[in-house]
Amino acid sequence: MKQLPVAADAVFYAACTFLPILCILRYFGAPVWLSILAAGALAICVGLAVFLLERRTRGKRLLSARQARERDALLLHLALAPARETEELLRRALKKEQRSAQTSGQTPANDAAIEFLFTLEPLSADRLASLIRARGEQFTLFCSELSPAAEKLTKTFPITVIRGDEVYRLLSETGELPERFLGTTPRPSRRERLRTLFTRNSAKPFFVSGALLLLMSLFTIFPVYYLAAGSLLLLLSVGLRILAPSE
């Protein structure tokens, strides 16, 4: 099931390769069997390449635009909320994660050697140094972000740092995201509202329209217009699939 989105992307790009190549070859008079064979072979190569590439890089993808906004609201909430409330929230999430880790045979982390410190600004090296003096050289730190100087300090001491993106994923995957965040959500700008219209999901209607036009080009007397318009719509759907943010 984890590979289903990767397989869906591979099928999408394979279809976007197969249809235009098939229709272009038929337009120039290639035999049906040769057109299907050539377009199918190229589509399989593209789909396989996309599948292998996305399977390797899927875990490294950035958060979507909606997730990034939710993450920022979460980090603001954790910085403003009482320290005890923040610690209880994250420890509940860690216990859920540890239970799932135990069922999969992994060794859970030491719950006592954890420090929670969320700030509005990146954590400074001085604050981190005071934590090292208080807790010792080895502990796990949950924070929003580190300053460059603090980042260098983590390379000197055996400190594990869990930053904002990982904190957001932990709370999301364990179902521990707060129902309401502290602070007000700013009203999205006109540019942000426009961007919501062009997301990865917007590629679907462009793909369907382009595919239908390309299929119609196989049966019409003047196929060049259908071929050009259908190919353009498929290119637009591919562009949205690659460049547009997720919802």
Domain ranges of the chain: 4-61+198-243, 65-188
Average pLDDT across the chain, whole number = 81
Lowest mean pLDDT among 34-48, 80-94, 179-193, 194-208: 179-193
Q: What is the 3-state secondary structure (H, E, C) of the chain?
A: CCCHHHHHHHHHHHHHHHHHHHHHHHHCCCCHHHHHHHHHHHHHHHHHHHHHHHHHHHHHCCCCHHHHHHHHHHHHHHHHCCHHHHHHHHHHHHHHHHHHHHHCCCCCCCCCCEEECCCCCCECHHHHHHHHHHHCCCEEEECCCECHHHHHHHHHCCEEEECHHHHHHHHHHCCCCCCCCCCCCCCCCHHHHHHCCCCHHHHHHHHHHHHHHHHHHCCCCCHHHHHHHHHHHHHHHHHHHHHCCCC
Asked whether the whole model's pTM tops 0.95, one would answer: no
- pLDDT by residue (tens digit) across 18-28? 888 888 888 88
- pLDDT by residue (tens digit) across 150-165? 988 888 888 889 998 8
